[in-house]
Amino acid sequence: MSGETEYAYVVEGKMALPYQYFAGAVGSKFLIALRDEKRILGVRCPKCETTFVPPRQTCERCFSDLTSHWVDVGSSGEITGYTVINYKEPYQPKEPPYVLALIKLDGADTPFAHILNCADGAQPAIGMRVRAVFSKEPKDNILAISHFELEP
């Protein structure tokens, strides 16, 4: 076995990966409301009675166009799932360890992922109440919400 692998080389390579994407009109409206008004918007499918946050153009179930069904949802909600990030990688938004949580905002039917800051010693748990802390600097991405924190 060792004879077969002794001269089996691994050829190292490197690739540059610049990346961008278009948020589209629906996604941009969501980002602009976050950045300029610190409001969190969703869309509600009238047929399926489901509120999607972040918003989407079309209801995947019934194919309804949701672009004229905007709703405000709260900036507080509850944890529906979480994980603790312990490994370190370049380009992470924070120094580990930190918590990424799935948060279902009040009035929303879908959770979305964001950073959860826990005060010293506090442990996250499913069902706990959290609230959004908006970034002090205007930002054109989801980090317009700086992070979530546990409600006292």
Which stretches of the chain bind another protein, using CB under 8 A?
11, 13, 15-27, 56-58, 60-61, 63
State in angstroms the smallest separation of the CB of 100 from another protein.
18
The CA-based diameter of the chain, rounded to the nearest angstrom, is 67
Helix (H) / strand (E) element for 72: namely: strand 70-73
Q: Which is nearer to another protein, 60 or 151 (CB)?
A: 60
Residues 6+ apart with CB under 8 A from 54: 27, 30, 42, 112
Q: Which is nearer to another protein, 3 or 13 (CB)?
A: 13
Q: Which is nearer to another protein, 57 or 123 (CB)?
A: 57
The one-letter amino acid code at 85 reads: I
Q: Give just the sign of the alpha carbon dihedral 103, 140, 73, 133.
A: positive
Q: Which is nearer to another protein, 20 or 86 (CB)?
A: 20
Strand partners, 134: 145
Alpha carbons 71 and 68: distance in angstroms, whole number: 9
Alpha carbons 93 and 57: distance in angstroms, whole number: 28
State in angstroms the smallest separation of the CB of 10 from another protein.
12
State in angstroms the smallest separation of the CB of 26 from another protein.
7
State in angstroms the smallest separation of the CB of 126 from another protein.
25
